[in-house]
Homo-oligomer: A and B are copies of this chain.
Amino acid sequence: MNANATLPGAIATDEPQPTVRQRARIGLLGASGYSGQEFARLALRHPGLELSVLFSRERAGRPASESLPGIDPRVHAMPAFVHPDELSSRLEANEFDTLIACLPHGEWAKLSAATPAVSAAARVVDLSSDSRDGAHGYVYGLPEAFRGDIAAATRIANPGCYPTATMLALLPALEAGWLGGPLMVSALSGVSGAGRAPALRTSFVELDGGAALYRAGTEHAHVAEMERGLSRIAGRKVEVGFAPQLAPMARGILLTATVPLARAVPPADARSIYLERYRDEPFVRVLPPEDWPETRAVRTSNRCDVAVTTMHGGRVLLATAALDNLVKGAAGQAIQNLNLMLGWPEDWGLPKHGNPW
């Protein structure tokens, strides 16, 4: 029996435990949105993270627990929300050292440009799409592809949920140089991916019991991000078509990518390459033969499940993936990036098991 067995509280006591010299103190922008809430929930269970300042424009002055449903305020007496106007003064007072931006697209770019004090933050992770093209020195934070860059960075652009699923579904095939033409991604997403601002299109009655395609083709904002990320992985230009769909569920992305191959690849070979490539990845699992991804298996976890085969004499690759858009597609991946930046074990404090219902 190891020492840990007498020190309960651990989720997984058999894992080696890192030594933390200093917790990262988090300033969280957009704490009442879905990504912000999920980050807060995950941070509360992460021993190396401390939620120091929670910012919210509309709810400034209100107890943060009001916007974090499920939290028992007797256990975690959350501080009051702080107005983002105080971002500079709180940073200068050294109330936090790590900034997590869970703002709507465009807002962090504006806010950081107007707030010189941001340069004092030891680390920034931006969950919006503002810096995913590498603007302002942000490093694109897909750990499975760009681990080394992330570990050396202080500014991270966290990938989008659809692009994360797409890149993890295709990474081994593109690294192997198999791509033979434009690829097609068909994916369905849970409704939390559309954000928390009330809108008719995300109302319960409009969505329950049905599914809808939207902005299919090559125009969706995620297509450019996918093409950029996949091209970097493949070392050549990759063209993407995209058919996003909204399904009547709160969380989850289920994705199917179809790829014409430059040469015939037998199904077993495709699977072997994937297994080999992902063997040591803590958050990507290649499913057994005949199994296909489902969103419940990864629900509330930071894991992405992947399955592949080839068809039509090996000329077409079918690659599929499932992940939780709020965790591996947003807040969980942000913490995975933080762990790397801080020199901590990459999987520290992150859920590996899904809670299916």
Contact = CB atoms under 8 A, between A and B. Distances in A.
A17 interface: yes
Contacts of A262: none
B9 A9 contact: yes
Interface in A1-38: 1, 3-13, 15, 17-23, 34
Integer count of this chain's copies in the complex: 4
A88 interface: no
Nearest to A73: B285
Contacts of A252: 209-211
**Which of A41, A76, A241, A296 neighbours the largest number of chain B CB atoms within 10 Å of its CB?**
A296
A9 B15 contact: yes
Given A72-B285, A301-B70, A357-B209, A23 B47 contact: no
B285 A258 contact: no
Given A12-B75, A72-B353, A218-B311, A198 B196 contact: no
A186 B256 CA distance: 7
Interface string A321-357: 0100000000000000000000000001100111111
B10 A184 contact: no
A354 B355 CA distance: 13
Contacts of A182: 311-312, 315-316
B247 A211 contact: yes
A207 interface: yes
A47 B192 contact: no
Nearest to A354: B70
Interface residues of A, number: 106
A248 B285 CA distance: 24
Contacts of A23: 1, 5
A202 interface: yes
Contact of A239 (B213, B295, B312): B312
A47 B296 contact: no
A45 interface: yes
A339 B78 CA distance: 28
A-side binding surface: helix, strand, loop or mixed? loop
Contacts of A72: 285, 301, 303, 352-353
B311 A210 contact: no
Contacts of A69: 296-297, 354, 356
Nearest to A298: B70
Contacts of A5: 20, 23, 47
A352 B214 CA distance: 23
Nearest to A213: B292
A188 to B, nearest CB: 6
A300 interface: yes
A249 interface: yes
A271 interface: no
Nearest to A345: B8
A303 B73 CA distance: 12
Given A207-B204, A217-B318, A218-B312, A212 B292 contact: yes
B216 A256 contact: yes
Contacts of A320: 213, 216, 243
Please name the 5 residue pairs, one residue from A and one from B, whose CB atoms are nearest each other, closest first.
A8-B47, A70-B354, A212-B294, A9-B10, A210-B296
